[in-house]
Amino acid sequence: MAKLTWRIKNQTQGALDITQYVRSLTYTQGRPNAVSPYTGGTFSFTMTNDNGQVLFAQVQDEIVIEVKGTGIFFSGIRGFVTQRTYQDGQGEGLNSTVTISGVDEVGMFGPINNILITEVGVNDLLNEYTAATAFADIGGTTDLAMNSTTFQTNGLQAINNVIAGDGGVVTADIYYAPSSFDLITQTAFTFDNTTSATKIGYHTLERLEGSANGTFFTAASVTNQNTGSTISEIALVAFYYGQRWLTITSAETNVSTTAEWYANTFSAPDDVTLFMSFTDVAQNSAALDLAVEHCINTRRWTSVSFTPPGGVAETGYFWPEQISVTATPEKTSVDLIMSPISYYGRFILDDAVFGVLDVDRLGVA
């Protein structure tokens, strides 16, 4: 039977392995849809605390939760302890536990305020901002020229301003601009309704159209973080469906193009987001190993196949917008929110999956 193995280490306390005390764990990373801001990932685990084991996970300690199938351990989530909740047993307290909760490195930007970003240009704002903080970290580059901030701002807001203008994604603590999507596209395994050495079989699959998922709009208002806003509306769509506004703040210097892109990209009410789940014990062990490396460790664009009732089979690339993991000694359950490729259709000239003028699609050498 295929099964995942989890390990929890306290990096602050010399990479101390505290797995033996842990009874269950859960964590979530990502965002609920393609237009939501990133708020940072969260984790929680319950451990035995009948003899002061809580000292092994103190507030602000750095925790890494790792996972493996049949191979080596990969990081699932890395973050910092923010709070502890005690469940004290009666009498001698033999059944006492403590729940340890925390946020990932992206979430650590949230409490940081009064920051000025002084660099102006392409490809440097995210790294420049990261260098100014002790516990928050997000790497990566951007495609577009970004404004420096005129006023002091919250750290997480500043990060989201950059991402909103650029149209990329965050996986773990790395930001990928659309031109770098090929670096996080994998073909090692697919999601399907059956299992094999190269297929993860989903246990449940729910399709949610944009009109029900908060990703359907007929007009967009994009505001530069220092100046005014630009409005773009798809007249024919708005005439038929009425005005449905998307409002975002961007660090981009030229917001008019971004407003047009948002208004066009999210104007289809029937584009579907997939909500799927799978368990480790129901999988082929070879495919589970691939999912550990190419999904749980670093989320990647992945092919998904499904057949609507009474319809024909459909296959397409989707982005794991959010991943939620729940692990107990019996099994691990993974829940995914998968955004369609249409939500990230920035112009990329030559790419096998995202390319507009990809030579493979044109059939030329």
**Residue 169 included in any domain:** yes
CATH number assigned to the domain comprising residue 12: 2.40.10
Share of the chain above pLDDT 70, in %: 90
When mean pLDDT is compared across 10-19, 22-31, 159-168, the lowest value belongs to: 159-168
Residue 149's pLDDT is: 77
Residue 244's pLDDT is: 85
The per-residue pLDDT for range 113-158, each reduced to its tens digit, is 887 776 666 666 777 777 777 788 888 888 888 777 777 888 899 8
Residue 336's pLDDT is: 98
pLDDT > 60? residue 358: no
**Residue 29 included in any domain:** yes
Residue 356's pLDDT is: 58
Residues 47 and 98 in one domain: yes
**Residue 204 included in any domain:** no
pLDDT > 60? residue 353: yes
Q: Which amino acid, one-letter code, is at 275?
A: F
pLDDT > 90? residue 3: yes
**Residue 314 included in any domain:** no
Domain that includes residue 227, residue range? 217-265
Residue 254's pLDDT is: 74
pTM: 0.92
Find the mean pLDDT for residues 257-277: 91
Residue 365's pLDDT is: 45
pLDDT > 70? residue 70: yes
In terms of Cα–Cα distance, which of 95, 37, 320, 287 is closest to 185? 320
**Residue 326 included in any domain:** no
- The alpha carbon dihedral of 50, 52, 57, 59 has a sign of positive
Do the Cβ atoms of 349 and 181 come closer than 8 Å? no
Residue 12's pLDDT is: 97
In terms of Cα–Cα distance, which of 56, 37, 36 is closest to 48? 56
User: Domain boundary at 68, 103, 138, which?
Assistant: 103
User: Domain boundary at 265, 298, 331, which?
Assistant: 265
User: 350: pLDDT confidence band, cut at 50, 70 and 90?
Assistant: low
User: 17: pLDDT confidence band, cut at 50, 70 and 90?
Assistant: very high
In degrees and rounded to multiples of 5, residue 75 shows phi and psi of -75, 135
**Residue 179 included in any domain:** yes
User: Domain boundary at 55, 73, 103, which?
Assistant: 103
Residues 92 and 43 in one domain: yes
Residue 89's pLDDT is: 84
pLDDT > 60? residue 335: yes
Alpha-carbon Rg for the chain, nearest whole angstrom, is 22
The per-residue pLDDT for range 185-239, each reduced to its tens digit, is 999 999 999 999 999 999 999 999 998 999 999 888 888 888 766 766 666 667 6
Find the mean pLDDT for residues 6-13: 98
Do the Cβ atoms of 217 and 238 come closer than 8 Å? no
Residue 242's pLDDT is: 80
User: 261: pLDDT confidence band, cut at 50, 70 and 90?
Assistant: confident
**Residue 236 included in any domain:** yes
Residue 364's pLDDT is: 47
Find the mean pLDDT for residues 286-299: 97
Distance (Å, rounded) from C-alpha 32 to C-alpha 168? 15
Residues 19 and 93 in one domain: yes
pLDDT > 70? residue 360: no
**Residue 63 included in any domain:** yes
Do the Cβ atoms of 271 and 33 come closer than 8 Å? no
Joined together, the tokens standing for residue 52 give 């002061």
Angle between helices 255-265 and 155-166 (to 10 degrees): 70
Mean pLDDT of the residues in the chain: 89
Do the Cβ atoms of 218 and 230 come closer than 8 Å? no
Residue 93's pLDDT is: 66
- Residue with more model confidence, 238 or 267: 267
In terms of Cα–Cα distance, which of 168, 241, 249, 248 is closest to 211? 241
The per-residue pLDDT for range 32-47, each reduced to its tens digit, is 999 999 999 999 999 9
Domain tally, the chain? 3
The per-residue pLDDT for range 179-197, each reduced to its tens digit, is 899 999 999 999 999 999 9
Nearest 5°: CA angle at 200, between 196 and 204?
125
